Amino acid sequence: MAARPGPGVGELVLLEKLLGLPKGSKYGVQGERKIPVLQTNSGPGLTGIMTIAAYLVKQAKKEQLLGSTAEEKAVVQQWLEYRVTQVDGSSSKEDTRIILKDLNIHLEDKVYLAGNVFTLADILMYYGLHHIMVDLTVQEKEKYLNVSRWFNHIQHYPGVRQHLSNVVFIKNRLYTNAH
């Protein structure tokens, strides 16, 4: 677990840059799981990735990233929660497999996690899955075809990827007779 930087402060800094916010926010971490804490001018600060990310989006006046309708907002909330509970909580290969399977089914008929609009859920899910996607074999990428399509789309979204490595996806399917 110690080997990879996220989940946490790192991706929030990436998000700040993506949103075009000025640098200089002060972050701390809390507890054994190193939950990020953002020092704000007022009050005791904000705790947790979802919470801080939503705050940053509002600071940048890009509320559309949180969804426009009640339904979109709830869906974004749902996938942010999925990201911090399921993806960040995954520890075994089996967990990873289930997550990729879940997402693959969900993305079967969607461009983005919340349907047809790009939201904060896509951004944080991309940061959260990056270390998993980097290690997938070509065959696994084909197996989770919808996840691969979505991931490739998000990593090419302007400003999202930043210094993270580009994950390569092959256009032509190699394992055509995969059942």
Does 151 interact with another protein (rule: CB under 8 A)? Answer: no
Per-residue contact string for residues 20-39; x = within reach of another protein by CB under 8 A: ------------xx-x----
Does 75 interact with another protein (rule: CB under 8 A)? Answer: yes
Does 90 interact with another protein (rule: CB under 8 A)? Answer: no
Residues 6 or more apart from 14 whose CB is under 8 A from it? 127, 162, 164
Range in contact with another protein (rule: CB under 8 A) among 9-17, 88-96, 127-135, 153-161: 88-96
Range in contact with another protein (rule: CB under 8 A) among 21-29, 69-77, 140-148, 150-158: 69-77
Range in contact with another protein (rule: CB under 8 A) among 18-26, 42-50, 124-132, 163-171: 42-50
In this chain, which of 6, 8, 10, 48 binds another protein, going by CB under 8 A?
48
Does 81 interact with another protein (rule: CB under 8 A)? Answer: yes
Residue with Cβ nearer another protein (115 or 159): 115
Does 140 interact with another protein (rule: CB under 8 A)? Answer: no
DSSP the chain: -TTS--SSHHHHHHHHHHHTPPS--EEEEETTTTEEEEE-SSTT-EESHHHHHHHHHHHTT-GGGG-SSHHHHHHHHHHHHHIIIIIHH--SHHHHHHHHHHHHHHGGG-SBTTBSS--HHHHHHHHHHHHHHHT--HHHHHHTHHHHHHHHHHHTSTTTSTTSPPPP--SS-S-TT--
Q: Which amino acid is at 113?
A: L
At residue 11, φ and ψ (nearest 5 deg) are -75, -25
Q: How far is the CB of 156 from another protein (least distance, A)?
A: 25
Residues that bind another protein (CB under 8 A): 32-33, 35, 44, 46-51, 54-55, 70-71, 73-75, 77-78, 81-82, 84-85, 89, 92, 94, 98, 102-103, 105-106, 115, 177, 179
